[in-house]
Structure 1
Amino acid sequence: MTAPATTSMPLVSVLVPAYNHEAFVRECLDSILADHYPAKEIVIIDDGSTDGTAGCIEAWLARHRDDIPVEYVSRENKGIAATLNELAARAHGEFLRIGASDDFFLPGGSETLVRYLMAHPGKGAAIGDCVVVDRDGRKLLDSGMSDLHGADKRLYRTDEGIRRAVISHWAIGGPVTMLRKGALETVARWTEGLRIDDWDLFLRLAARDAIGFVDEKVCAYRLHGANFSKTRHTATRIVNLTEAREVALRRVCMFAEPDRTLLRAEACRIGAKIAYLQGRMGKVAVHMAAYVALLAISRLRVAHGRHRMGAA
């Protein structure tokens, strides 16, 4: 079903990749419906779930299909990046709200992000903050960025700070992002085959100063057994970190100095983490020495650039 446009607010397509979240997907969809934003549609793909996720979605649609425009596809598993690309291709909206079937949206979040993007036409993406909840929806933390990831939100006040934050301290979790659909044409959408698809996309956006930040809670990020335990599994962490290092090295060329050197430093820091998990302490020392040296060079270049601006 194609969503009708409104004259007052642009259409938002809420993209929901769903995979093995039968316990949570109803709450996710309920939260989209409950949000008062007037011009919205849901585009949802069940990415080959092996539990009852597809049945939960179909039961929800049977009750609510007349309440909100929905496009739903159930198909074999293709992975998160391919699913996000397909969701974006199926969307009709000017703005794309990126969802997750185990999280849920907070009232007013879509309007907050839309108003930011409307007021900042040069930005291709807007991000907000989230609360962190447990599997039963009980609040654990007030801020995903600050309390869960330890981020300094003051960095997000400037383009320079956002570049540094995206490169050095990834703190964007849960469905906090809204994209201008046209921005995906600039950065070539999600890179299929990656596990670290979100960081890769945000590096490409940050290199173009295309990210803005709104310090408002726009969603709830849920910690539960599946997404929490994976981060403690050594073999999985090594695979994820190896891919992250490859992504960093691949995107270095997109940045100017001093961010180019900062991203090279981050690749070395990730290399040290990999070596530590592998028990290769000599490699840890080599990577950390390179990290410290490159970080110092980056900071010197920042100071030099500020001195030149001051002199001018």
Structure 2
Amino acid sequence: MTANDTVQGVTPPLVSVLIPAFNHERYVRRCLDSVLEDPYPAKELIVIDDGSSDRTGVLIADWVAAHCMDIPIEYVRREHRGIAATLNELAARANGEFLRPGASDDYLLPGGLGAQVGYLLAHPHKVAVIGDSMVVDRDGRKLHDSGMCDLHGADKSLYRTDDGIRRAVIRQWAIGGPVVLIRKCALDTADRWSEGLRIEDWDLFLRLAARSMLGFIDVKVCAYRMHDSNVSKTRHRGTRIANLAESRQVAMFRTGLFEEPYRTLLRAQSHYIDAKISFLERRPWPLLCHLATYLALVARARLPSARAHAEGT
């Protein structure tokens, strides 16, 4: 579905494109240009420079001065507060019915906004929809056609049902880049980004998936840029352990949102994360214990569906 398909005979809903920018002087202009390049007709751009120490803020200001007549723009430059706090502030400043969070090192692909708006208009019970991404390197050369499949090895067929989405979000986080469109009304109530987290998106999507409010379209909606500063791809051992520990904390905290067997699957995932931490810390016995518990919990989570299948046959 294209942008025009969503607006036959009616005024298209406003989309607020939200860009939290931080130390991305090399990439930020491409990010901002991509907002103009997308053909969706009703959009605004809100950018916050989250205390960059390089020339990111200057480049944004120059771009805004050059394009302020092309699209409604709000630009704020302030001290560093972190990604989740910045996303929440961006959402609070937005006027759109739909919010499209971005990232200042990635960029939108033309047609993505219209396809995602079309999905949410056709599925009013869904709060958010995710798409796929193309993966590029620091110079914009394509590395992978599909971030979900080629980078994360995801099975896209899981995303066709609410059950599959819950299992995929819990067990194989395969969302590469900023690929979500979300209704602003959801963030006006409770579903904001959890401040203090560095890997804040998994926490948000767990909350949405638990209530069957997350949808999927098999459309590439952004280019996800791989470079040395990606938070999720760091090779620094201490940072990886800290990120994993945060993920484990999120998993344990959100188990109460899910019914069985998803609650057990999320408990299993927390042990799998603990096994990764033990591996990085070179502790073989805790590693084996967590892996054994993980496998036992995964097997237990499969039993109800296996029994139901046996009874049906």
Query: Who is 2:221 aligned against?
Result: 218
Query: What are the equivalent positions in structure 2 for 1:27-38 lying under 5 Å apart?
Result: 27-38=30-41
Deviations along 1:272-304, whole A, 9 cap, x unmatched?
000110011000011011101000000112223
What's the CA shift for 1:228?
A: 7.1
Deviations along 1:6-62, whole A, 9 cap, x unmatched?
942100000000000011110101000111100000011000000000000000011
Preserved CA contact (<8 Å) 2:228 2:234: no
Q: Which amino acid aligns with 1:197?
A: E
Q: Does 1:25 align with 2:28?
A: yes
Deviations along 1:106-136, whole A, 9 cap, x unmatched?
1110000000000000000001101000111
C-alpha separation between the residues in 2 aligned to 1:96 and 1:240? 26
Query: Who is 1:8 aligned against?
Result: 11
Preserved CA contact (<8 Å) 2:173 2:202: yes
> Aligned with 1:188: secondary structure?
coil
What's the CA shift for 1:229?
A: 8.6
Query: Who is 2:157 aligned against?
Result: 154
Query: Who is 1:209 aligned against?
Result: 212
C-alpha separation between the residues in 2 aligned to 1:116 and 1:307? 36
Q: Does 1:172 align with 2:194?
A: no
C-alpha separation between the residues in 1 aligned to 2:189 and 2:213? 10
Query: Who is 1:183 aligned against?
Result: 186
> Aligned with 2:176: secondary structure?
coil
C-alpha separation between the residues in 1 aligned to 2:150 and 2:141? 16
Query: What are the equivalent positions in structure 2 for 1:1-312 lying under 5 Å apart?
Result: 7-227=10-230, 230-307=233-310, 310=312
Preserved CA contact (<8 Å) 2:170 2:265: yes
> Aligned with 2:230: secondary structure?
helix
Preserved CA contact (<8 Å) 2:15 2:96: yes
Q: Which runs of 5 or more residues in structure 2 are unaligned?
A: 1-8
What's the CA shift for 1:185?
A: 4.0
What's the CA shift for 1:230?
A: 4.8
Query: Who is 2:4 aligned against?
Result: none
Preserved CA contact (<8 Å) 2:160 2:216: yes
Number of corresponding residues:
306
> Aligned with 2:223: secondary structure?
strand
TM-score, length of structure 1 as denominator length: 0.95
Q: Which amino acid aligns with 1:292?
A: L
Preserved CA contact (<8 Å) 2:135 2:146: yes
The alpha-carbon distance between structure 1 residues 187 and 306, as it changes in their structure 2 partners (threshold 3 A), is: farther
What's the CA shift for 1:306?
A: 4.4
What's the CA shift for 1:207?
A: 0.3
Preserved CA contact (<8 Å) 1:105 1:219: yes
Task: Give the % identical residues.
Answer: 64
Deviations along 1:63-98, whole A, 9 cap, x unmatched?
000100011100000000000000000000000011
C-alpha separation between the residues in 2 aligned to 1:230 and 1:210? 28
C-alpha separation between the residues in 1 aligned to 2:230 and 2:179? 17
Give runs of ≥4 in structure 1 deviating > 6 Å. none
Preserved CA contact (<8 Å) 1:231 1:237: yes
Superposition CA RMSD, Å: 1.6
C-alpha separation between the residues in 1 aligned to 2:242 and 2:231? 16
Compare 158-167 and 171-180 and name the one that shifted more.
171-180
C-alpha separation between the residues in 1 aligned to 2:199 and 2:24? 20
> Aligned with 1:279: secondary structure?
coil
Deviations along 1:143-184, whole A, 9 cap, x unmatched?
000000110101000000000000000011212110011122
Deviations along 1:234-271, whole A, 9 cap, x unmatched?
10000000010010000000000000000000000000
> Aligned with 2:234: secondary structure?
helix
Preserved CA contact (<8 Å) 2:130 2:216: yes
Q: Which runs of 5 or more residues in structure 1 are unaligned?
A: 1-5
Query: Who is 1:3 aligned against?
Result: none
C-alpha separation between the residues in 1 aligned to 2:309 and 2:64? 56
Q: Which amino acid aligns with 2:283?
A: R
Q: Which amino acid aligns with 1:25?
A: V
C-alpha separation between the residues in 2 aligned to 1:96 and 1:81? 15
